Amino acid sequence: MSNGWEESAGAWIETLGDVGDPARQFVLDPAMLERVDLCAGPGRSLDVGCGEGRFCRLLQARGWQTSGIDPAPSLIDRAQRLQPDGVFRVAGAEQLPFHAGEFELVVSYMSLLDIPDVKAAIAEMARVLRPGGHLLIANMTSFATAANPDPWKRLADGTQGWMLDNYMDERSYWIGWGNLRVMNWHRPLSTYMTLLLAAGLHLRHFDEPLPRGGSPDVLERSGLGSSRRVPGFLIMDWQKPTSSAGKDRP
């Protein structure tokens, strides 16, 4: 069954361009690149679910050797055209076409919520990470993915509240705008945490980042104006231990 990404590739490229949407520009990019700069490197990096390769190009600008995988051929073609010296392959996260311990940095930038078999994907990300390397994750918060398509509801006192239900039930759902329609997955945060801990990784950083910059109008139009009430995104930095004793530190 298609998750819609190949069919929506043209709309995605046209909508986001090379810069990204306001959530990426003003929330996720600053927080993710800040963590990248704290990693030992630059070295070899892999972007799992790289799409059109935008974050790979940001990593390359910081001196990283970049590889990226995505199951949508049209997005991989776009990434390769824009970064001819990058390594881009059509592949799924559940079976990465790389050797164990090949990368100092593995990135999952808003891709975990696109992956049906997230257990296999997280195990694969940990496998290709070298000991001491970092898995850097950006994802939607689980109380954002658990909300219904119209989560803001007017309460009895006239204020608006964020409504969600069935938080613990994992499920897929379709989202879209314009000509873009893709499948996402809701999972409780405990699912991600359990799988990452089971992969033997150590959590080094967790944040629910707020916008940095952007005009009030842009933030309001993009839905980021309510970020302090309901943060939509999280950042996690996980490290693979260098020994079974796990005595390494960031």
Segment holding 246, helix H or strand E: none
Interior angle at CA 15, CA 22 and CA 224, nearest 5: 25
Beta carbons within 8 Å of 171's beta carbon, 6+ residues apart: 185, 186
Report CA torsion sign: 189, 211, 50, 101: negative
Question: Are the C-beta atoms of residues 148 and 164 closer than 8 Å to each other?
Answer: yes
Q: How many domains does the chain have?
A: 1
In a domain, 136, yes or no: yes
Domain that holds residue 78: 9-239
Residue 13 lies inside a defined structural domain of this protein: yes
Assigned domain for 1 exists: no
Residue-level length of the chain: 250
Residue 2: its pLDDT value, please? 76
- Residue 163 C-beta-side C-alpha neighbours within 13 Å: 10
Q: Tell me whether strands 44-48 and 147-154 are parallel, antiparallel or unpaired.
A: unpaired
Enumerate residues 6+ apart whose C-beta is below 8 A from 223: 232
pLDDT in tens, 54-76: 999 999 999 999 999 999 999 99
Local confidence band at 245 (pLDDT 50, 70, 90 cut-offs): very low
Neighbouring-strand partners of residue 84:
none
| DSSP character at residue 210 | P
Higher pLDDT, 154 or 232: 232
User: Residue 49 sits in a domain of what CATH number?
Assistant: 3.40.50.150
**Mean pLDDT of the residues in the chain:** 92
DSSP-derived 3-state class of residue 193: helix
Two structure tokens written together for 133: 């390397």
Q: pLDDT tens for residues 161-199?
A: 888 889 999 999 999 888 999 999 999 999 999 999 999
Residue 245 lies in a domain: no
Residue 247 covered by a domain: no
Tell me the pLDDT band of 250, cut-offs 50, 70 and 90: very low
Instruction: Give domain status of residue 97, yes or no.
Output: yes
In a domain, 249, yes or no: no
